Amino acid sequence: MALKLEKVVQGITPVSMEWRQKARTYLDKLAIPRGSLGELLNLAEQLAAIRETLEPSVRHKAVVTMAGDHGVVAEGVSAFPPEVTPQMVANFVAGGAAINVLAEVAGARVYVVDMGVAADLTDLVAAGKILSYKVDYGTRNMAKGPAMSREQAVQALEAGIDVAEKLIREGVELLATGDMGIGNTTPSSAILAAFSGLPAEEVTGRGTGISDEVLKNKVRVIQKALEINKPDPKDPVDVLAKVGGFEIGGIAGVILGAAYHKIPVVVDGFISSAGALLAKKLAPASVDYMIAAHQSMEYGHRHMLRELGLQPLLNLNLRLGEGTGGALAMNIVESAAQVIRKMLTFEDAGVTPDAPRGE
Ligand SMILES: O=C(O)c1ccc[n+]([C@@H]2O[C@H](COP(=O)([O-])O)[C@@H](O)[C@H]2O)c1
Ligand SMILES: Cc1cc2nc[nH]c2cc1C
């Protein structure tokens, strides 16, 4: 494992139980029937414990949308052609995509990263419109051999760590992951199968909206990729190299970077969750810093969330990616932070508490 990755993976520690307890004790004093703000209270506790303060701020927000292409599209696994990946990157830059709209509502900036788009994006990079950590012009076809080399897998993970560190240094307090990559539900499903041991049919869905026939082929392609590559579930870098994607590695890196620097990170849908699963396998304590944005419509996401041990905040039948669910969930995360920062206790508000108060 390369030095930076090693350092970050080793440096990720569980969130402080002491701060969790302090936050819970404080939240129990708020002038509400105990527990009546439900999941917002758990979220507030998590934020306080991550930041080690009863006044956590998540005001400065960034969505990182990682883009990459996939050689496996040659097997006919997507409803759309790969040229849509760079076209959508251009749309993100123009500000006309769903992620631009939803991030603006959440008060988040969008950072688009070329992790491995199979097109020359140097003009957008030179104009400062996107970040480039291009590992290659798309992965190789995982149905025929490894998607990338082990070195490229490490490079993708470290790129994500770099992006997170750059944004955190600039003052970002809440990150969300996002993805763009035609074909990327296929490697995401393969990653889930490799780690969970679930059969390909159980982890595979319709992605951008494929027919029954194409879905059958996609399941076969995933089975074949697993059979010929034999990814080792005990070696997450091997799983990423053999059946992953550059943007998925980048997402895992962003999550690891956030956890290392004790910054909460909102995980978007199916593809982001595949990145999160890689992060968890590399550094189990990184899960403490993750917030699952939503339950994606992509079949298999439920298994992904179960493997992560996370409950999604929202269920809006989304299946877009880009970080859209992440941006939406940021509004809830901001609300939770403000609940613990700003609400008054029974005592401060002069409200009579329930008589026994549990004791
Ligand atoms: O985030 C999700 O849950 C999600 C579910 C299905 C599809 N997507 C998006 O659709 C693209 C991948 O779909 P596909 O069919 O080409 O594998 C990619 O750009 C993803 O961002 C995203
Ligand atoms: C148009 C389009 C937009 C997307 N955004 C994320 N994935 C996408 C896939 C397609 C096809």
Give which of 234, 249, 222 is closest to 150, Cα–Cα.
249
Where do we find the tokens 């076209």? 87
Helix (H, G, I), strand (E, B) or coil at 11: helix
pLDDT tens digits for the chain (359 residues)? 688 999 999 999 999 999 999 999 999 999 999 999 999 999 999 999 999 999 999 999 999 999 999 999 999 999 999 999 999 999 999 999 999 999 999 999 999 999 999 999 999 999 999 999 999 999 999 999 999 999 999 999 999 999 999 999 999 999 999 999 999 999 999 999 999 999 999 999 999 999 999 999 999 999 999 999 999 999 999 999 999 999 999 999 999 999 999 999 999 999 999 999 999 999 999 999 999 999 999 999 999 999 999 999 999 999 999 999 999 999 999 999 999 999 999 999 999 998 765 55
C-beta of 345 in contact with ligand 2 (< 6 A): no
Domains and CATH numbers, the chain: 61-333 (3.40.50.10210)
Which one of 173, 247, 322, 334 is the catalytic residue? 322
Helix-helix angle 150-169:270-282, to 10 degrees? 100
As for ligand 1, residues whose beta carbon falls within 6 Å of it are 78-80, 179-186, 207-208, 268-271, 296, 298, 319-322
Query: How far apart are alpha carbons 167 and 20 in whole angstroms?
Result: 26
Q: What is the pLDDT of residues 90-130, one digit of tens each?
A: 999 999 999 999 999 999 999 999 999 999 999 999 999 99
Residue 322 annotated as catalytic: yes
C-beta of 208 in contact with ligand 2 (< 6 A): yes
Q: How many CB atoms are closer than 10 A to CB 38?
A: 8
Q: What is the pLDDT of residues 33-80, one digit of tens each?
A: 999 999 999 999 999 999 999 999 999 999 999 999 999 999 999 999
Distance from residue 207's CA to the centre of ligand 1 (Å): 5
Give which of 356, 311, 223, 358 is closest to 40, Cα–Cα.
311
Q: H/E element holding 190?
A: helix 185-196
Query: How far apart are alpha carbons 161 and 12 in whole angstroms?
Result: 12
| The pair of three-digit structure tokens given for residue 121, joined into one six-digit string | 């994006």
The answer to whether 108 touches 40, Cβ cutoff 8 Å, is no
* Complex-level ipTM: 0.99
How many secondary structure helices (H) and strands (E) does the chain include?
16, 6
Nearest-atom number in ligand 2 for the CA of 91 is 3
C-beta of 168 in contact with ligand 2 (< 6 A): no
Query: How far apart are alpha carbons 27 and 232 in whole angstroms?
Result: 43
The answer to whether 287 touches 280, Cβ cutoff 8 Å, is yes
